[in-house]
Structure 1
Amino acid sequence: MSRTMDSHLLAGNRRDAAGLAPKHFGWRIEDKVGVVTLDRPERKNPLTFESYAELRDLFRLLAQADDVRAVVMQGAGENFCSGGDVHEIIGPLTKMTMPDLLTFTRMTGDLVKAMRGCPQPIISAIDGVCAGAGAIIAMSSDLRIGTARSKVAFLFSRVGLAGCDMGACTMLPRIIGQGRASELLFTGRSMSGDEALAWGFYNRIARSDDLHAHAVGWAAELAAGPTFGHAMTKRMLHQEWAMGVDEAIESEAQAQAICMMTQDFHRAYAAFAAKAKPVFEGD
Protein backbone atom coordinates (compact mmCIF):
# COMPACT_ATOMS: atom_id res chain seq x y z
CA MET A 1 0.00 0.00 0.00
CA SER A 2 1.81 3.14 -1.20
CA ARG A 3 1.60 6.56 0.40
CA THR A 4 1.60 8.07 -3.10
CA MET A 5 -1.92 8.75 -4.32
CA ASP A 6 -3.24 9.72 -7.71
CA SER A 7 -4.22 13.38 -7.86
CA HIS A 8 -7.86 12.55 -8.55
CA LEU A 9 -7.95 10.46 -5.36
CA LEU A 10 -6.04 13.03 -3.34
CA ALA A 11 -8.42 15.88 -4.20
CA GLY A 12 -11.17 16.09 -1.61
CA ASN A 13 -9.98 13.04 0.34
CA ARG A 14 -6.76 14.16 2.01
CA ARG A 15 -5.85 17.46 3.61
CA ASP A 16 -3.52 18.83 6.26
CA ALA A 17 -4.87 20.04 9.59
CA ALA A 18 -1.87 22.23 10.39
CA GLY A 19 -3.30 25.26 8.63
CA LEU A 20 -6.59 25.25 10.51
CA ALA A 21 -7.38 28.34 12.57
CA PRO A 22 -10.52 27.68 14.65
CA LYS A 23 -12.22 30.75 16.07
CA HIS A 24 -13.70 29.23 19.19
CA PHE A 25 -10.92 27.06 20.65
CA GLY A 26 -7.18 26.66 20.41
CA TRP A 27 -5.58 24.28 17.92
CA ARG A 28 -1.98 23.35 17.28
CA ILE A 29 0.01 20.32 16.16
CA GLU A 30 2.96 19.07 18.18
CA ASP A 31 4.87 16.41 16.22
CA LYS A 32 1.82 14.61 14.77
CA VAL A 33 -0.27 15.24 17.90
CA GLY A 34 -3.18 17.63 17.47
CA VAL A 35 -3.93 19.61 20.64
CA VAL A 36 -7.41 21.09 21.15
CA THR A 37 -7.61 23.67 23.95
CA LEU A 38 -10.99 24.89 25.17
CA ASP A 39 -9.90 28.44 25.85
CA ARG A 40 -12.29 30.45 28.02
CA PRO A 41 -10.59 29.99 31.39
CA GLU A 42 -12.39 32.91 33.04
CA ARG A 43 -15.65 30.92 32.66
CA LYS A 44 -14.15 27.45 33.18
CA ASN A 45 -14.11 26.84 29.42
CA PRO A 46 -17.82 26.48 28.62
CA LEU A 47 -19.12 25.49 25.20
CA THR A 48 -21.21 27.69 22.92
CA PHE A 49 -23.35 26.94 19.87
CA GLU A 50 -20.39 27.97 17.73
CA SER A 51 -17.77 25.89 19.55
CA TYR A 52 -19.96 22.79 19.44
CA ALA A 53 -20.27 23.11 15.67
CA GLU A 54 -16.62 23.96 15.13
CA LEU A 55 -15.45 21.00 17.23
CA ARG A 56 -17.78 18.72 15.25
CA ASP A 57 -16.30 20.01 12.00
CA LEU A 58 -12.73 19.60 13.24
CA PHE A 59 -13.18 15.94 14.14
CA ARG A 60 -14.91 15.26 10.84
CA LEU A 61 -11.97 16.83 9.00
CA LEU A 62 -9.43 14.79 10.97
CA ALA A 63 -10.72 11.70 9.19
CA GLN A 64 -8.96 13.13 6.11
CA ALA A 65 -5.83 14.52 7.82
CA ASP A 66 -2.53 12.69 7.39
CA ASP A 67 -0.51 15.13 9.50
CA VAL A 68 -2.30 14.27 12.78
CA ARG A 69 -1.96 10.79 14.29
CA ALA A 70 -3.37 11.38 17.78
CA VAL A 71 -5.38 14.12 19.50
CA VAL A 72 -5.30 15.66 22.99
CA MET A 73 -8.33 17.50 24.38
CA GLN A 74 -7.64 19.91 27.24
CA GLY A 75 -8.92 23.05 28.92
CA ALA A 76 -7.08 26.30 29.49
CA GLY A 77 -6.24 27.27 33.04
CA GLU A 78 -7.25 25.02 35.93
CA ASN A 79 -10.40 23.45 34.47
CA PHE A 80 -11.37 21.16 31.60
CA CYS A 81 -14.90 22.28 30.63
CA SER A 82 -17.95 23.43 32.60
CA GLY A 83 -20.41 22.30 29.90
CA GLY A 84 -22.82 24.45 27.93
CA ASP A 85 -22.53 28.17 28.67
CA VAL A 86 -25.43 29.17 30.93
CA HIS A 87 -25.94 32.53 29.26
CA GLU A 88 -25.05 31.68 25.66
CA ILE A 89 -26.71 28.25 25.42
CA ILE A 90 -28.98 27.39 28.36
CA GLY A 91 -30.84 30.71 28.34
CA PRO A 92 -31.56 30.69 24.58
CA LEU A 93 -32.68 27.05 24.73
CA THR A 94 -35.54 27.97 27.08
CA LYS A 95 -36.99 30.18 24.31
CA MET A 96 -36.70 27.73 21.39
CA THR A 97 -39.40 25.71 19.66
CA MET A 98 -39.27 21.91 19.56
CA PRO A 99 -37.87 21.75 15.99
CA ASP A 100 -35.04 24.14 16.94
CA LEU A 101 -34.32 22.24 20.15
CA LEU A 102 -34.09 18.99 18.20
CA THR A 103 -31.71 20.64 15.73
CA PHE A 104 -29.50 21.62 18.67
CA THR A 105 -29.53 18.23 20.41
CA ARG A 106 -28.77 16.49 17.13
CA MET A 107 -25.85 18.86 16.56
CA THR A 108 -24.38 18.06 19.98
CA GLY A 109 -24.82 14.37 19.28
CA ASP A 110 -23.03 14.87 15.97
CA LEU A 111 -19.97 16.06 17.91
CA VAL A 112 -19.85 12.70 19.71
CA LYS A 113 -20.37 10.84 16.42
CA ALA A 114 -17.52 12.83 14.87
CA MET A 115 -15.21 12.03 17.80
CA ARG A 116 -16.03 8.33 17.59
CA GLY A 117 -15.67 8.39 13.79
CA CYS A 118 -12.35 10.24 13.92
CA PRO A 119 -9.68 7.56 13.22
CA GLN A 120 -7.06 9.10 15.51
CA PRO A 121 -6.99 8.08 19.20
CA ILE A 122 -8.27 10.93 21.38
CA ILE A 123 -6.91 11.54 24.88
CA SER A 124 -8.72 13.93 27.23
CA ALA A 125 -6.53 15.63 29.85
CA ILE A 126 -8.92 16.51 32.67
CA ASP A 127 -8.25 18.94 35.48
CA GLY A 128 -10.65 20.86 37.72
CA VAL A 129 -14.24 21.08 36.55
CA CYS A 130 -15.42 18.56 33.94
CA ALA A 131 -19.20 18.89 33.85
CA GLY A 132 -22.20 18.42 31.57
CA ALA A 133 -21.09 18.44 27.95
CA GLY A 134 -17.50 18.61 29.18
CA ALA A 135 -18.00 15.23 30.85
CA ILE A 136 -19.52 13.95 27.60
CA ILE A 137 -16.44 15.06 25.64
CA ALA A 138 -14.23 13.25 28.14
CA MET A 139 -16.45 10.16 27.96
CA SER A 140 -16.36 10.20 24.15
CA SER A 141 -12.58 10.23 24.06
CA ASP A 142 -10.67 6.98 23.75
CA LEU A 143 -8.47 7.53 26.80
CA ARG A 144 -8.61 9.85 29.80
CA ILE A 145 -5.95 11.25 32.13
CA GLY A 146 -7.25 13.07 35.19
CA THR A 147 -5.95 14.79 38.29
CA ALA A 148 -6.77 14.09 41.91
CA ARG A 149 -8.52 17.46 42.24
CA SER A 150 -10.70 17.03 39.16
CA LYS A 151 -14.48 16.67 39.43
CA VAL A 152 -16.51 14.91 36.72
CA ALA A 153 -20.28 15.46 36.77
CA PHE A 154 -22.99 14.41 34.34
CA LEU A 155 -25.25 17.04 35.90
CA PHE A 156 -28.17 17.04 33.45
CA SER A 157 -30.66 15.91 36.11
CA ARG A 158 -29.74 18.94 38.20
CA VAL A 159 -31.05 21.27 35.52
CA GLY A 160 -34.29 19.34 35.05
CA LEU A 161 -33.14 17.18 32.14
CA ALA A 162 -32.60 13.47 31.58
CA GLY A 163 -29.22 11.84 31.93
CA CYS A 164 -29.57 10.45 28.40
CA ASP A 165 -27.57 13.19 26.68
CA MET A 166 -25.24 12.78 23.69
CA GLY A 167 -24.96 9.00 24.10
CA ALA A 168 -24.30 8.93 27.85
CA CYS A 169 -26.77 6.11 28.57
CA THR A 170 -25.05 3.77 26.14
CA MET A 171 -21.39 4.81 26.48
CA LEU A 172 -20.94 5.54 30.19
CA PRO A 173 -22.19 2.10 31.37
CA ARG A 174 -19.67 0.45 29.06
CA ILE A 175 -16.86 2.43 30.67
CA ILE A 176 -17.74 2.24 34.38
CA GLY A 177 -20.60 -0.27 34.59
CA GLN A 178 -24.39 0.02 34.64
CA GLY A 179 -24.84 0.61 38.37
CA ARG A 180 -22.19 3.30 38.66
CA ALA A 181 -23.37 5.04 35.49
CA SER A 182 -26.95 4.96 36.79
CA GLU A 183 -25.86 6.64 40.01
CA LEU A 184 -24.02 9.45 38.25
CA LEU A 185 -26.76 10.04 35.67
CA PHE A 186 -29.64 10.00 38.18
CA THR A 187 -27.97 12.13 40.84
CA GLY A 188 -25.75 14.42 38.80
CA ARG A 189 -23.18 14.27 41.59
CA SER A 190 -19.47 14.79 41.02
CA MET A 191 -17.06 11.91 40.64
CA SER A 192 -13.71 12.65 42.28
CA GLY A 193 -10.41 12.04 40.57
CA ASP A 194 -9.55 9.05 42.75
CA GLU A 195 -13.05 7.64 42.26
CA ALA A 196 -12.83 8.12 38.49
CA LEU A 197 -9.56 6.19 38.43
CA ALA A 198 -10.91 3.39 40.63
CA TRP A 199 -14.06 3.09 38.53
CA GLY A 200 -12.14 2.94 35.25
CA PHE A 201 -13.27 6.29 33.86
CA TYR A 202 -9.69 7.55 34.08
CA ASN A 203 -6.90 5.45 32.64
CA ARG A 204 -4.28 7.38 34.56
CA ILE A 205 -3.84 10.14 37.15
CA ALA A 206 -1.25 12.89 36.83
CA ARG A 207 -0.28 16.01 38.74
CA SER A 208 -1.95 19.19 37.53
CA ASP A 209 1.39 20.77 36.60
CA ASP A 210 2.37 17.67 34.63
CA LEU A 211 -0.99 16.91 32.99
CA HIS A 212 -0.35 18.49 29.58
CA ALA A 213 3.10 16.92 29.19
CA HIS A 214 1.76 13.54 30.31
CA ALA A 215 -1.12 13.65 27.84
CA VAL A 216 0.94 14.85 24.89
CA GLY A 217 3.68 12.35 25.69
CA TRP A 218 1.19 9.49 25.73
CA ALA A 219 -0.40 10.75 22.51
CA ALA A 220 3.05 10.93 20.91
CA GLU A 221 3.61 7.26 21.80
CA LEU A 222 0.36 6.38 20.04
CA ALA A 223 1.26 8.63 17.10
CA ALA A 224 4.51 6.72 16.67
CA GLY A 225 2.58 3.45 16.38
CA PRO A 226 0.83 1.85 13.41
CA THR A 227 -1.64 4.55 12.42
CA PHE A 228 -3.76 2.35 10.19
CA GLY A 229 -3.84 -0.35 12.85
CA HIS A 230 -4.85 2.11 15.59
CA ALA A 231 -7.65 3.45 13.39
CA MET A 232 -8.89 -0.08 12.79
CA THR A 233 -8.80 -0.85 16.53
CA LYS A 234 -10.86 2.25 17.26
CA ARG A 235 -13.37 1.39 14.55
CA MET A 236 -13.77 -2.17 15.82
CA LEU A 237 -14.12 -1.08 19.45
CA HIS A 238 -16.97 1.18 18.34
CA GLN A 239 -18.70 -1.13 15.86
CA GLU A 240 -18.59 -4.24 18.03
CA TRP A 241 -20.82 -2.69 20.71
CA ALA A 242 -23.78 -3.82 18.64
CA MET A 243 -22.40 -7.20 17.55
CA GLY A 244 -22.75 -10.74 18.83
CA VAL A 245 -19.56 -12.68 19.58
CA ASP A 246 -19.54 -14.67 16.33
CA GLU A 247 -20.18 -11.54 14.25
CA ALA A 248 -17.42 -9.68 16.12
CA ILE A 249 -14.91 -12.49 15.56
CA GLU A 250 -15.63 -12.49 11.83
CA SER A 251 -15.40 -8.69 11.65
CA GLU A 252 -12.05 -8.77 13.42
CA ALA A 253 -10.79 -11.49 11.08
CA GLN A 254 -11.56 -9.24 8.12
CA ALA A 255 -10.09 -6.17 9.82
CA GLN A 256 -6.86 -7.94 10.74
CA ALA A 257 -6.46 -9.35 7.23
CA ILE A 258 -6.75 -5.80 5.87
CA CYS A 259 -4.10 -4.61 8.35
CA MET A 260 -1.79 -7.40 7.18
CA MET A 261 -1.75 -5.73 3.76
CA THR A 262 -0.16 -2.55 5.15
CA GLN A 263 3.50 -1.63 4.84
CA ASP A 264 3.63 -1.04 8.59
CA PHE A 265 2.97 -4.76 9.14
CA HIS A 266 5.82 -5.65 6.79
CA ARG A 267 8.10 -3.08 8.44
CA ALA A 268 7.38 -4.60 11.84
CA TYR A 269 8.31 -8.08 10.59
CA ALA A 270 11.51 -6.83 8.97
CA ALA A 271 12.47 -4.97 12.14
CA PHE A 272 11.74 -8.04 14.29
CA ALA A 273 13.91 -10.20 12.02
CA ALA A 274 16.70 -7.63 12.26
CA LYS A 275 16.24 -7.28 16.05
CA ALA A 276 15.47 -3.59 15.58
CA LYS A 277 12.63 -1.31 16.64
CA PRO A 278 10.07 -0.75 13.85
CA VAL A 279 9.46 2.75 12.55
CA PHE A 280 5.82 3.04 11.53
CA GLU A 281 4.84 5.32 8.65
CA GLY A 282 1.07 5.00 8.78
CA ASP A 283 0.60 3.18 5.48
Structure 2
Amino acid sequence: MSDILQIERRGGVAWLTLNRPERLNALDPALVRALREYFEGLSARSPERAVVLQGAGRAFCAGLDLKEQVGGEDLGVADMLEQQKGIRDIMLAMRRCPQPIVSVVQGAASGGGFALALASDVRLVTPDARMNAAFIRIGLSACDVGVSYFLPRMVGSSVAAEYMLTGRFMDAQRAYALGLVSRIDALPALQAEAQALADDMLNATPVALRLTKEALGLAVDAGSMEAVIAMEDRNQVLCTQTRDFREGMTAFLEKRAPVYTGR
Protein backbone atom coordinates (compact mmCIF):
# COMPACT_ATOMS: atom_id res chain seq x y z
CA MET A 1 0.00 0.00 0.00
CA SER A 2 1.27 3.47 -0.86
CA ASP A 3 2.67 5.82 1.78
CA ILE A 4 -0.33 8.09 1.17
CA LEU A 5 -2.48 5.51 2.97
CA GLN A 6 -0.63 4.11 5.93
CA ILE A 7 -1.85 0.87 7.50
CA GLU A 8 -0.92 -0.33 10.96
CA ARG A 9 -2.40 -3.56 12.27
CA ARG A 10 -2.81 -3.90 16.01
CA GLY A 11 -4.09 -7.38 16.57
CA GLY A 12 -7.49 -7.57 14.93
CA VAL A 13 -7.71 -3.79 14.40
CA ALA A 14 -6.37 -1.96 11.34
CA TRP A 15 -5.48 1.73 11.70
CA LEU A 16 -5.72 3.54 8.36
CA THR A 17 -4.14 6.98 8.15
CA LEU A 18 -4.73 9.30 5.21
CA ASN A 19 -1.23 10.66 4.77
CA ARG A 20 -1.23 13.81 2.66
CA PRO A 21 -1.03 16.34 5.52
CA GLU A 22 0.49 19.03 3.31
CA ARG A 23 -2.77 18.96 1.28
CA LEU A 24 -5.07 18.41 4.31
CA ASN A 25 -5.39 14.80 3.13
CA ALA A 26 -7.32 15.89 0.04
CA LEU A 27 -8.30 13.06 -2.28
CA ASP A 28 -6.04 12.87 -5.30
CA PRO A 29 -6.28 9.95 -7.77
CA ALA A 30 -3.64 7.92 -5.93
CA LEU A 31 -5.34 8.25 -2.54
CA VAL A 32 -8.75 7.52 -4.08
CA ARG A 33 -7.35 4.36 -5.63
CA ALA A 34 -5.62 3.28 -2.40
CA LEU A 35 -8.78 3.72 -0.31
CA ARG A 36 -10.96 1.95 -2.85
CA GLU A 37 -8.61 -0.99 -3.21
CA TYR A 38 -8.21 -1.35 0.54
CA PHE A 39 -11.92 -1.38 1.40
CA GLU A 40 -12.87 -3.49 -1.62
CA GLY A 41 -10.23 -5.99 -0.54
CA LEU A 42 -11.73 -6.54 2.91
CA SER A 43 -13.65 -9.75 3.47
CA ALA A 44 -14.73 -12.04 6.26
CA ARG A 45 -11.34 -13.77 5.93
CA SER A 46 -9.29 -10.60 6.35
CA PRO A 47 -7.03 -10.52 9.45
CA GLU A 48 -8.54 -7.22 10.61
CA ARG A 49 -11.97 -7.39 12.21
CA ALA A 50 -12.38 -3.65 12.80
CA VAL A 51 -10.94 -0.54 11.15
CA VAL A 52 -10.05 2.90 12.53
CA LEU A 53 -9.81 5.66 9.89
CA GLN A 54 -7.97 8.92 10.60
CA GLY A 55 -6.05 11.69 8.87
CA ALA A 56 -2.47 12.84 9.44
CA GLY A 57 -1.84 16.42 10.44
CA ARG A 58 -4.47 19.03 11.25
CA ALA A 59 -7.36 17.78 9.09
CA PHE A 60 -9.25 14.56 8.50
CA CYS A 61 -9.85 15.09 4.77
CA ALA A 62 -10.50 18.30 2.85
CA GLY A 63 -12.33 16.49 0.06
CA LEU A 64 -11.31 16.25 -3.57
CA ASP A 65 -7.94 17.79 -4.38
CA LEU A 66 -9.04 20.63 -6.65
CA LYS A 67 -5.48 21.33 -7.77
CA GLU A 68 -5.63 17.95 -9.50
CA GLN A 69 -8.75 19.08 -11.37
CA VAL A 70 -8.12 22.69 -12.37
CA GLY A 71 -6.23 22.99 -15.63
CA GLY A 72 -6.46 19.28 -16.24
CA GLU A 73 -7.79 17.46 -19.24
CA ASP A 74 -11.43 18.11 -20.13
CA LEU A 75 -13.21 14.79 -19.86
CA GLY A 76 -16.36 13.74 -21.66
CA VAL A 77 -19.45 12.34 -19.97
CA ALA A 78 -18.33 8.71 -20.12
CA ASP A 79 -14.89 9.40 -18.64
CA MET A 80 -16.29 11.71 -15.98
CA LEU A 81 -18.80 9.05 -14.97
CA GLU A 82 -16.01 6.51 -14.56
CA GLN A 83 -14.05 8.98 -12.43
CA GLN A 84 -17.14 9.65 -10.33
CA LYS A 85 -17.75 5.94 -9.82
CA GLY A 86 -14.14 5.47 -8.76
CA ILE A 87 -14.69 7.82 -5.83
CA ARG A 88 -18.18 6.74 -4.82
CA ASP A 89 -17.10 3.09 -4.84
CA ILE A 90 -15.04 3.83 -1.71
CA MET A 91 -18.21 4.61 0.25
CA LEU A 92 -20.02 1.58 -1.17
CA ALA A 93 -17.11 -0.64 -0.16
CA MET A 94 -17.05 0.86 3.33
CA ARG A 95 -20.70 -0.03 3.83
CA ARG A 96 -20.39 -3.47 2.23
CA CYS A 97 -17.26 -4.64 4.05
CA PRO A 98 -17.95 -6.77 7.15
CA GLN A 99 -15.58 -4.78 9.38
CA PRO A 100 -17.03 -1.95 11.52
CA ILE A 101 -15.28 1.36 10.81
CA VAL A 102 -14.55 4.04 13.42
CA SER A 103 -13.54 7.45 12.07
CA VAL A 104 -11.47 9.88 14.14
CA VAL A 105 -12.17 13.32 12.68
CA GLN A 106 -10.04 16.37 13.44
CA GLY A 107 -10.24 19.69 11.65
CA ALA A 108 -11.90 19.73 8.24
CA ALA A 109 -14.00 16.91 6.85
CA SER A 110 -15.31 18.49 3.66
CA GLY A 111 -16.94 17.06 0.57
CA GLY A 112 -15.51 13.61 0.06
CA GLY A 113 -14.01 13.78 3.56
CA PHE A 114 -17.51 14.34 4.95
CA ALA A 115 -18.68 11.32 2.95
CA LEU A 116 -15.89 9.16 4.39
CA ALA A 117 -16.96 10.10 7.91
CA LEU A 118 -20.64 9.46 7.15
CA ALA A 119 -19.88 6.07 5.59
CA SER A 120 -18.17 5.00 8.82
CA ASP A 121 -20.11 3.24 11.55
CA VAL A 122 -18.91 5.43 14.44
CA ARG A 123 -17.63 9.01 14.34
CA LEU A 124 -15.43 10.61 17.01
CA VAL A 125 -14.48 14.27 16.59
CA THR A 126 -12.12 16.87 18.05
CA PRO A 127 -13.51 20.23 19.24
CA ASP A 128 -12.21 21.92 16.08
CA ALA A 129 -13.86 19.45 13.70
CA ARG A 130 -15.89 21.07 10.90
CA MET A 131 -17.87 19.07 8.36
CA ASN A 132 -19.69 20.21 5.25
CA ALA A 133 -21.08 19.18 1.88
CA ALA A 134 -18.56 21.37 0.09
CA PHE A 135 -19.59 20.23 -3.39
CA ILE A 136 -22.33 22.88 -3.68
CA ARG A 137 -19.77 25.64 -3.06
CA ILE A 138 -17.76 24.75 -6.17
CA GLY A 139 -20.51 24.52 -8.76
CA LEU A 140 -21.66 20.96 -8.09
CA SER A 141 -24.70 19.44 -6.46
CA ALA A 142 -24.39 18.76 -2.75
CA CYS A 143 -25.84 15.31 -3.42
CA ASP A 144 -22.64 13.39 -4.01
CA VAL A 145 -20.83 10.15 -3.09
CA GLY A 146 -23.50 9.02 -0.64
CA VAL A 147 -23.97 12.21 1.39
CA SER A 148 -27.62 12.65 0.34
CA TYR A 149 -28.27 9.06 1.42
CA PHE A 150 -26.50 9.12 4.76
CA LEU A 151 -27.17 12.60 6.12
CA PRO A 152 -31.03 12.72 6.06
CA ARG A 153 -31.17 9.29 7.68
CA MET A 154 -28.80 10.38 10.44
CA VAL A 155 -30.03 13.89 11.26
CA GLY A 156 -33.44 14.22 9.56
CA SER A 157 -34.52 15.87 6.32
CA SER A 158 -34.72 19.47 7.55
CA VAL A 159 -31.23 19.54 9.05
CA ALA A 160 -29.81 17.71 6.04
CA ALA A 161 -31.38 20.28 3.71
CA GLU A 162 -30.02 23.11 5.86
CA TYR A 163 -26.44 21.95 5.39
CA MET A 164 -26.66 20.55 1.88
CA LEU A 165 -28.44 23.49 0.26
CA THR A 166 -26.00 25.98 1.79
CA GLY A 167 -22.70 24.14 2.13
CA ARG A 168 -22.44 25.53 5.65
CA PHE A 169 -20.03 23.92 8.09
CA MET A 170 -21.41 21.80 10.92
CA ASP A 171 -19.25 22.22 14.01
CA ALA A 172 -18.48 19.53 16.54
CA GLN A 173 -21.03 20.65 19.14
CA ARG A 174 -23.90 20.73 16.63
CA ALA A 175 -22.89 17.34 15.26
CA TYR A 176 -22.88 15.90 18.79
CA ALA A 177 -26.25 17.45 19.63
CA LEU A 178 -27.72 15.91 16.48
CA GLY A 179 -26.35 12.47 17.31
CA LEU A 180 -24.15 12.46 14.22
CA VAL A 181 -21.03 11.87 16.31
CA SER A 182 -20.50 9.85 19.47
CA ARG A 183 -17.88 11.85 21.32
CA ILE A 184 -15.95 15.15 21.30
CA ASP A 185 -12.49 15.18 22.86
CA ALA A 186 -8.84 15.96 22.25
CA LEU A 187 -7.19 13.87 19.55
CA PRO A 188 -5.12 11.59 21.84
CA ALA A 189 -8.21 10.79 23.92
CA LEU A 190 -10.20 10.02 20.77
CA GLN A 191 -7.50 7.72 19.46
CA ALA A 192 -7.53 5.86 22.77
CA GLU A 193 -11.33 5.67 22.63
CA ALA A 194 -11.24 4.40 19.05
CA GLN A 195 -8.91 1.60 20.09
CA ALA A 196 -11.09 0.82 23.11
CA LEU A 197 -14.21 0.70 20.94
CA ALA A 198 -12.52 -1.60 18.45
CA ASP A 199 -11.25 -3.83 21.26
CA ASP A 200 -14.78 -4.08 22.66
CA MET A 201 -16.06 -4.99 19.20
CA LEU A 202 -13.59 -7.88 19.14
CA ASN A 203 -15.35 -9.32 22.20
CA ALA A 204 -18.14 -10.29 19.80
CA THR A 205 -17.74 -13.43 17.75
CA PRO A 206 -16.59 -12.75 14.18
CA VAL A 207 -19.94 -13.89 12.77
CA ALA A 208 -21.96 -11.84 15.27
CA LEU A 209 -19.94 -8.70 14.54
CA ARG A 210 -20.36 -9.06 10.79
CA LEU A 211 -24.07 -9.79 11.00
CA THR A 212 -24.66 -6.86 13.36
CA LYS A 213 -23.05 -4.36 10.99
CA GLU A 214 -24.96 -5.83 8.06
CA ALA A 215 -28.31 -5.79 9.86
CA LEU A 216 -27.86 -2.23 11.11
CA GLY A 217 -27.29 -1.09 7.54
CA LEU A 218 -30.24 -3.00 6.13
CA ALA A 219 -32.62 -1.99 8.93
CA VAL A 220 -32.39 1.67 7.89
CA ASP A 221 -34.17 0.90 4.62
CA ALA A 222 -36.31 -2.03 5.70
CA GLY A 223 -39.94 -1.87 4.66
CA SER A 224 -41.39 -2.79 8.04
CA MET A 225 -40.63 -3.74 11.62
CA GLU A 226 -41.57 -7.31 10.71
CA ALA A 227 -38.89 -7.40 8.03
CA VAL A 228 -36.25 -6.19 10.49
CA ILE A 229 -37.28 -8.68 13.16
CA ALA A 230 -37.25 -11.53 10.64
CA MET A 231 -33.66 -10.58 9.76
CA GLU A 232 -32.77 -10.43 13.46
CA ASP A 233 -34.28 -13.89 13.99
CA ARG A 234 -32.19 -15.30 11.14
CA ASN A 235 -29.02 -13.71 12.47
CA GLN A 236 -29.49 -15.05 15.99
CA VAL A 237 -30.06 -18.59 14.75
CA LEU A 238 -26.97 -18.37 12.53
CA CYS A 239 -24.88 -17.18 15.47
CA THR A 240 -25.94 -20.08 17.67
CA GLN A 241 -24.64 -22.57 15.11
CA THR A 242 -21.00 -21.50 15.49
CA ARG A 243 -18.35 -22.91 17.80
CA ASP A 244 -17.51 -19.33 18.73
CA PHE A 245 -21.00 -18.92 20.21
CA ARG A 246 -20.36 -21.79 22.60
CA GLU A 247 -16.93 -20.35 23.44
CA GLY A 248 -18.47 -16.93 24.10
CA MET A 249 -21.09 -18.40 26.44
CA THR A 250 -18.50 -20.48 28.28
CA ALA A 251 -16.09 -17.56 28.62
CA PHE A 252 -18.87 -15.35 30.00
CA LEU A 253 -19.83 -17.93 32.62
CA GLU A 254 -16.18 -18.53 33.52
CA LYS A 255 -15.51 -14.77 33.69
CA ARG A 256 -12.59 -14.86 31.25
CA ALA A 257 -11.77 -13.39 27.85
CA PRO A 258 -13.12 -15.49 24.96
CA VAL A 259 -10.81 -17.05 22.39
CA TYR A 260 -12.51 -17.09 19.01
CA THR A 261 -11.44 -19.13 15.99
CA GLY A 262 -13.88 -17.79 13.43
CA ARG A 263 -15.76 -21.08 13.26
TM-score between both structures, scaled by the size of structure 2: 0.93
SS in 2 for 1:92: coil
Unpaired runs of 5+ residues, structure 1, are 1-20
CA contact (8 A) 1:206 1:214 kept: no
List structure 1 runs of 4+ shifted beyond 4 angstroms.
Answer: none
Indicate how the Cα distance of structure 1 residues 274 and 189 shifts in structure 2: closer, same or farther if over 3 A, else same. same
Deviations 1:149-205 (A, max 9, x none): 111111111111111101211211111111111111111111111111111111111
- Where does residue 68 of structure 1 map in the other structure? 48
TM-score between both structures, scaled by the size of structure 1: 0.87
CA contact (8 A) 2:60 2:108 kept: yes
Corresponding letter in the other structure for 2:168: R
Q: Greater shift after overlay, 216-225 or 139-148?
A: 216-225
Of 44, 47, 67, 2:27 maps to 47
**Alpha-carbon shift at residue 226 of structure 1 (Å):** 2.0
Alpha-carbon distance in 2 for matches of 1:92, 1:221:
46
**Alpha-carbon shift at residue 61 of structure 1 (Å):** 1.2
CA contact (8 A) 1:173 1:180 kept: yes
**Alpha-carbon shift at residue 248 of structure 1 (Å):** 2.0
Corresponding letter in the other structure for 2:159: R
Indicate how the Cα distance of structure 1 residues 32 and 276 shifts in structure 2: closer, same or farther if over 3 A, else same. closer
CA contact (8 A) 2:4 2:20 kept: no
Q: Greater shift after overlay, 104-113 or 237-246?
A: 237-246
- 1:173 matched to 2:152? The reply is yes
- Where does residue 251 of structure 1 map in the other structure? 231
Alpha-carbon distance in 1 for matches of 2:3, 2:60:
18
**Alpha-carbon shift at residue 213 of structure 1 (Å):** 2.5
CA contact (8 A) 1:63 1:117 kept: no
- 1:260 matched to 2:240? The reply is yes
CA contact (8 A) 1:271 1:278 kept: yes
Alpha-carbon distance in 2 for matches of 1:50, 1:236:
32
- Where does residue 77 of structure 1 map in the other structure? 57
**Alpha-carbon shift at residue 281 of structure 1 (Å):** 4.0
- 1:101 matched to 2:80? The reply is yes
State how 1:219-258 maps to structure 2 within 5 Å. 219-245=198-224, 246-258=226-238
Indicate how the Cα distance of structure 1 residues 224 and 273 shifts in structure 2: closer, same or farther if over 3 A, else same. closer
- Where does residue 10 of structure 1 map in the other structure? none
CA contact (8 A) 1:49 1:89 kept: no
- Where does residue 129 of structure 1 map in the other structure? 108
Indicate how the Cα distance of structure 1 residues 273 and 209 shifts in structure 2: closer, same or farther if over 3 A, else same. closer
Q: Greater shift after overlay, 246-255 or 118-127?
A: 246-255
**Alpha-carbon shift at residue 64 of structure 1 (Å):** 4.7
Corresponding letter in the other structure for 1:25: L
Indicate how the Cα distance of structure 1 residues 89 and 218 shifts in structure 2: closer, same or farther if over 3 A, else same. farther
Unpaired runs of 5+ residues, structure 2, are none
**Alpha-carbon shift at residue 232 of structure 1 (Å):** 0.4
Alpha-carbon distance in 2 for matches of 1:233, 1:128:
30
- Where does residue 191 of structure 2 map in the other structure? 212
Q: Greater shift after overlay, 169-178 or 56-65?
A: 56-65
RMSD of Structure 2 on Structure 1 (CA): 1.8
